[in-house]
Structure 1
Amino acid sequence: MSDPSSPDSHPDGSLDPDGVAAGLAHYVTQSPTSFHAAAAARDRLVAAGFTALEDVGAWPAGPGSYVVVRDGAVIAWRVPQGAGPDTPFRVLGAHTDSPGFRLKPNPVVRAHGWEQLNVEVYGGPVLPSWFDRDLALAGRVVLADGTTRLVRTGPLARIPHLAIHLDRGVNEGFAPDRQRHLLPVVGVAGGPDPDDARHWLRAELGDAVAADLFLADTQAPARLGADGSLLASARMDNLTSVHAGLHGLLAAPQDTPHMPVLAAFDHEEVGSGTPTGAAGPFLEEVIARTQEGFGATRSQAASALRASWLLSSDAGHLVHPGHPDRHDPTNRPRPGGGPLLKVNANQRYMTDARGEALFAAACARAGVPHQPYVNPNTVPGGSTIGPLAATRLGIPTVDVGVGLLSMHSARELVHVEDLAALHGAVAAFLAG
């Protein structure tokens, strides 16, 4: 099942780095929040012939291509002809959320002639990168009848820096107070309407009775570099992997001996311990309901999982040219060197020798390079959805991802050849 509207490929099916970058830029622009990212992924899959299922109610049994959205998470899978109770799965795991700021209840703050919004830090953003940027509000609202809709504004807010004239030491050390210094300005207080911001919010949200709203950067993705080889954008951690998973699932052959799956979870940046996070039941439920459609016994279901693979794809770190000491001395990922194969002795990443061989074979089939990534012993680094999903399901797992500069900044940087290489490797993995 191909996606003729996809800009990722040439007419002959070969990957086009410029097209991949353009496709990712379009997807990021569609996806200011995890809710938008899940909905945009579903819409692209449905346009390519997938059947959208409701999270409750009966699901079809047997061959077909399906997608289901749960809040800010989306899982899509294909059941090929000939699949049965012991057919294994090939899962591309990723996440839809990024660090940032969430709007608090009773959000309007007035101080010294200004109106601001009271926000809470979500995850681990690079805080200075959010200052003096044109920000929107985006997210999900719930109506009185229980239905939901997605909303987004244009440029609305700004977190202002203090002028250097009033803080001569700002360039020697910047440590903002998370309650006093991170509240974005949205207007001025004391005008003809003393309730401007509250009235604006009520008008913007319509008849909503509740909302999950986040700040979102409004600057469009852009190609950079003397040769145009770099892409700067918000939310590439981890929409790079979700986008690659969409491409790979749509490109997968109809007759695979396994069931290809895209599982894009929410809440990875805050620990994944939610119903839509990787530590929750979403993927397990999708797999179980699919196996039940074939009448799988417990033994057959367990056997299928042990024969399955999970490719946990999340962004990683390229060597920073100004801070090479923060990287391992012998494993030094470079831009344009291909996706990262992540290894960690303490199981923050799940890659072992079998997983390394599997990913190397996928990259070889795709004709793309890859490069190892390990943390230096002095920097513990982060983790991914890999260990959580593997622990819950028992599926053998390998951790990979595209390399970035400025991870968790409001705006991150990637090499477009690495984007294309990740797309190729993921497609080869899902095709088997």
Structure 2
Amino acid sequence: MPSNAPEDLSRTIETLYRSESGRILATLVRLLGDLDLAQEAMHEAFAAALQMWPQTGLPNKPRPWLISAGRFKAIDMMRRRGRFDAALGDLALHLEARANGAPQEEEMGDDRLRLLFTCCHPALPAEGQVALTLREVCGLTTDEIARAFLLTPATLAQRIVRAKGIIRDKSIPYQVPVSQELSARLGAVLQVVYLVCNAGYSAEVTGAGLSREAIRLGRLLLDFLPEPEVMGLLGLMLLQESRRAARSTVDGELTLLDRQDRSLWNRDQIAEGIALTESALRSHRFGPYTLQAAIAAVHAETSSATSTDWRQITLLYDRLIRIQPSPVVELNRAVAVAMSGDPERGLRLIEGLLARDELANYPLAYSAHADLCRRLGRFPEARACYEKALALTWQKPGRRFLAARIEEFKNKIGSAVDFPIAQRL
């Protein structure tokens, strides 16, 4: 950052970048028609803000200012390049003719939805659709996305580059598809929104913002396509978000579900989430997101941890496994089985999962295994699994929590029966 930028204004611009860069990029893509050019223009716009705002002050509407600056930066770039490519020069003239006035808020409202559907075009491979959208629409870093998919950053970056190349080479338009195409494109879009919500659920600094953005995208999708699974996903996100205030202490320490102060849960979000989930279930055309929402609703409707209907949760996981089998779903079902009163069976199920190596890099699998060993008095195994989970955990609150568990064993403590942390906090 420039040394002449006041520190507080620099922080403001950094915050704007984290919260608004996705929307700004989406609008620039619509205005410029080129993802790479829009990215370059957006970064130029933020660089201009760092230079100009210390002298001119923060604009009343920073996002339109940045979009306008980015558009004119793009025109300048194309003019320079137009000296060598006449087509770019013509495009610069065309954009300049359209560049009168700042973009209006209503113009920008659906831009991210347009970009979202473009990145989920069927011409792109499924893994590229999700990776590109998380990176370009939602602003997650390559490392964050790679962790979500249990991939290396280099592999993830290659997927993004390939997906962008397909959009460019096939001249895929930046638009929401017509109604008859929406259903075919919906699955990848819902997965993206779901992963954004998951990232927001666990992020230490920007988590609330990511979750709000996922919910906003969910509402936009529901307006365009009021399908049961869209309702179910929005219901799931609201139910998960409803517990944010209770998931950590004022010092930032994790609070497990059974220890949370349920008076801090957001009752409005719970009511809306349950209503959406029930509507989706009544349709009998629901899928995995609605079933996950139903599981979250069981927790939300329970007045205390001790009265949780774990049998119902287990049955919901049974149905979820039938329509969307995955090792993570199997892990959560195993925890539900354990909490239903059969910890030894739950432990055997988790050990079978770990033996298959599908969750070898998933810290919550080792945490769940450790918690059940702890409950059953198998302390050496519990400590070893906590240490494996710690080695795989990158967020500080989770690391502190696991380190405290390990310290208990060093102090010859560890007989308490606790809620397995594989379940959502």
Asked if these proteins are the same fold (TM beyond 0.5), I'd say no
TM-score (normalised: structure 1): 0.26
Bigger CA radius of gyration = 2
TM-score (normalised: structure 2): 0.26
Structure showing greater relative contact order (alpha-carbon pairs closer than 8 Å, 6 or more residues apart) = 1
Bigger helix share: 2
